[in-house]
Amino acid sequence: MALLDRAIVRLLPAVPKPVVRRISERYIAGEELVDACRTVKRANETGKLATIDVLGEEITRPDEARAIACEYEDVFTTIERQGLDSNVSVKLTGLGLKLGHEPCRENLELVVRRAAESANFVRIDMEDSSCTNDTLRLYRDVRAGGRENVGVVLQAALRRTVGDVEALSDLQPNVRLCKGIYVEPPGVAFQGFDEVRENYVRALDRLLGAGCYVGIATHDEWLVREALRLLKRHGRDREEYEFQMLLGVRESMGDALVRRGHRLRIYVPYGRQWYAYSMRRLQENPKIAGYIASDTVSRFLPGRNGRSS
């Protein structure tokens, strides 16, 4: 399967852009904020929350990072004006992480401050392992500045994650827990599917035990069942956690969680950089290409509906 996934990724540059656009439509709200708002409104109408992500490509200049921070200011203004139930997710490389700690901290603080003015919340996405220390340090800096309306992401694939849960415990962090999308070396990350699942359960157990609000971000049915079991064991009320899923992925599973009264937040990315973003994500993790290919094929097979997978 891994071979097939890699073959799909190698073929990608030859796929005409309009075809990639058609396929990515399902996972990316569109190019403009108005597209994201339309998607969020639809999610809200079906009882789901959202988190909006402004897609940014590799930032090479401080003014590009500042422009992304300013775009988030527009996002909050629009969320407020339209009465949408959505927070935002930011990638620190988009806010200048690779340009230095200070410029990135300034941009992050700008976004978090603007969020606070709207009583809203900022989730800091986690990127590849070269960013983990800097991301956690910036999270700590912002919290030290008195901001509570900010949360971070931890990746179950990383060997360090349970240690990070413990190291952050003094902050009682609001954490999105995911498997981790980046392909990492064996010294840094568990390579086995089951090992990652086990570490996810371990980290979730610790987070719940520490009284943290957790965004349980997964489409893995087995993990959702384990999470429900842990939530019950820790006696968690419905407003003390949420499930999170990516736009367009396993929607019927999300609908079932909502019907059972759980909070579900949908990750809604938008931006003019959708093509570069999609290509980069697929090249970084060929497994995703495999998921999308099988989902796309299944939608065209009689009697199957990819949206219900």
Residue 52 CB, nearest approach to ligand FAD (Å): 12
- DSSP code string of 44-107: HHTT-EEEEEE------SHHHHHHHHHHHHHHHHHHHHHT--EEEEE-TTTTTGGG-HHHHHHH
Q: Which residues contact 146 (CB under 8 A, 6 or more apart)?
A: none
Q: Which residues are catalytic?
A: 125, 176
Nearer to ligand FAD, 230 or 245 (CB): 245
Q: What residue ranges in the chain does DSSP mark as E strands?
A: 49-54, 86-90, 122-124, 150-155, 175-178, 214-217, 241-246, 264-270
Residue 297 CB, nearest approach to ligand FAD (Å): 12
Could you tell me if 273 and 266 are in contact, meaning their C-beta atoms sit under 8 angstroms apart?
A: no
Residue 63 CB, nearest approach to ligand FAD (Å): 25
Nearer to ligand FAD, 77 or 298 (CB): 298
Residue 83: CA count within 13 A, CB half-sphere: 1
Nearer to ligand FAD, 210 or 293 (CB): 293
Kindly list the residues in this chain that would bind ligand FAD in the complex (CB under 6 A). 125-126, 153, 155, 178-182, 217-220, 244-246, 249-250, 267, 288, 291-292, 295, 309
- The total of other beta-carbon atoms located within 10 Å of residue 269's CB is 24
Residue 16 CB, nearest approach to ligand FAD (Å): 21
Nearer to ligand FAD, 37 or 196 (CB): 196
